[in-house]
Amino acid sequence: MNTITIRADNILTTRPVWQVSALAGLAAAVATEIFGLAARAVGVPMVAGSAGATVAEPVNVGMFAMGTVISVFWGTILAVGLARYARRPARTYLWTTIALTVVSMAGPYLAGATATSTKVMLALSHVVAALIVIPIVTRRLDRLPGRPVAR
């Protein structure tokens, strides 16, 4: 009986950067949506306002996934651009996306008319997505053809 073994390293080096990023984004979208559903299940109020708002709007089912997909779209454009033009694309992507993740957490913390538990949960959803996408895309960028693997 023949078996075929596919290693993650092979996938990371053979798939285009945009495809690896899109697949990581899909996984992150599912994870953040499950995270949001779990928060609802334990009683975290799913209403949030804009910065300085006096009235909160409901955070509907699907909004976590949608926000993740939008962020990953722009992150994919960043990754593809860095893969083409940056001298050290993996390192540049890693530090840029970490900084952008930190900046993105200002939104939940500045949300007006929003419970603290909701703010914390929304900020943590950013971390959940980042912990899935950033390492995968960084690893792919670290294995670009014709460039030495940084250690």
Please state, as a whole number, how many other Cβ atoms lie within 10 Å of the Cβ of residue 112: 13
Beta strand spans in the chain (E): 47-48, 57-58
Q: How many Cα neighbours within 13 Å face the side chain of 45?
A: 11
Q: Determine the pLDDT at residue 7.
A: 67
Structure tokens that stand for 88 in this block: 């050290």
Write out pLDDT tens, residues 101-133.
Answer: 999 999 999 999 999 999 999 999 999 999 999
Chain centroid to CA 144: how far? 21
Per-residue pLDDT at 150 exceeds 60: no
Q: Determine the pLDDT at residue 125.
A: 98
Write out pLDDT tens, residues 23-67.
Answer: 999 999 999 999 999 999 999 999 999 988 899 999 999 999 999
Nearest of 31, 27, 16, 48 to residue 145 by alpha carbon: 16
* Whether the Cβ atoms of residue 72 and residue 136 lie closer than 8 Å to each other: no
Reported pTM = 0.90
